[in-house]
Amino acid sequence: MRVADVSLSQAITTQLGQQEASIANLEEQVSSGKSLNQPSDNPAAVTQVLQLSSEASQLTSWQANSQIATSWLGMGNNAVNSALSDMQSARTLLLQALNQGTQSATTYQAIASQLQGINANLLDTANTQYEGRPIFAGTSASPQAYDNAGNYLGNSDSPTVIVGSGPGAGQAVNLSVPGPSMFGTGGGSVFATLSTVIGQLASGSPTATQLNAALTALDANISTAEQASAVLGNASDAVTSTSAALTTQLTAVQDGQSSLEDVNIATVTTQLDSEMTNYQAAMWAASQAIPETLVKFL
């Protein structure tokens, strides 16, 4: 074989090898739906995709935390609304005991019994749990926020989660409020208020002074619960806004990733068909140009 034929054969072989590599790459893109299947495909784009992937992972984590916060705060809002409803019912019973003048011991005791039921409902509400954790026990590991006597078992801290970037660990949001911030503290708690007046009514002969004192204390308890309701409501609104912003950011990042690594299947399929046609034409041309070489048998 002449030197010219050898050079031509090598050139043709190189060209065919390049076409084969191009075809293999296009076939992989069609199969995977991705234009970046290995770092060498586009090192700069791969670096960008990795950065965007890391950002998407962080946003997804914050979004998951915001969903947890939404669940906690939703339960907290429902609980405070239930508690306020019960407190208002208790207030109505106290007014009934006060405004109907002197009543029989049986009547007072009946009211005491109704208040006992309300107090039990409030204790159940105070021990509301999210996934086995009492939401009003602060960051305490206690299995309950309150015992059966209405004594607080938690601490004064609020559990938090990180829902965005910020100083230190990031933007934190409180998941709830400690029990005393909603039900009152110690002898001033709604449980103490109701327990005291229940005992007075159960005696069958409560005084107007006692009932008025209970009403004043209960009004203070209602005010405390209303403040907790405002705190929980504001936190819920903030988390809803943050969650929406995170969704927007995550969508933008995922779109950025897709624009870098996803392929248009129709376009790539057309390119593949064209490459296959060109490759077959090149094979035929090679067999005609150098009939005596191995190219003829490729």
First to last CA, the chain: 18
Tell me which residue of 81, 136, 84, 119 sits closest to 198, measured CA to CA: 119
Burial class of residue 40, CB neighbours in 10 A (0-12, 13-18, 19+): exposed
Q: Which fold has domain 48-258?
A: f41 fragment of flagellin, N-terminal domain (1.20.1330)
DSSP line for 201-249? HHTT---HHHHHHHHHHHHHHHHHHHHHHHHHHHHHHHHHHHHHHHHHH
Which residue blocks in the chain are alpha helix, DSSP H? 3-32, 43-99, 105-126, 179-183, 190-202, 208-261, 265-289
- Which residue in 144, 152, 117 sits closest to 128, CA to CA? 144
Assess contact for 140 and 153: CB atoms under 8 A: yes
All residues at 6 or more sequence positions from 183 whose CB lies less than 8 Å from its CB, including other chains: 83, 122, 126, 136, 146, 189, 190, 191, 221, 224, 225
91-110 pLDDT, tens per residue?
A: 999 999 998 776 899 999 99
Comparing CA positions, the residue from 225, 220, 199, 222 lying closest to residue 211 is 199
Query: Tens place of pLDDT for every residue, the chain, 298 residues?
Result: 555 555 555 655 665 555 554 455 445 544 555 554 565 556 676 778 788 889 999 999 999 999 999 999 999 999 999 999 999 999 999 999 998 776 899 999 999 999 999 999 999 999 999 999 999 999 999 999 999 999 999 999 999 999 988 887 789 999 999 999 999 999 999 999 999 999 999 999 999 999 999 999 999 999 999 999 999 999 999 999 999 999 999 999 888 877 776 554 445 455 545 555 555 555 656 665 665 555 444 5
Domain boundaries, the chain: 3-33+263-297, 48-258
State if pTM tops 0.85: no
- Count other Cβ atoms within 10 Å, centred on residue 9: 18
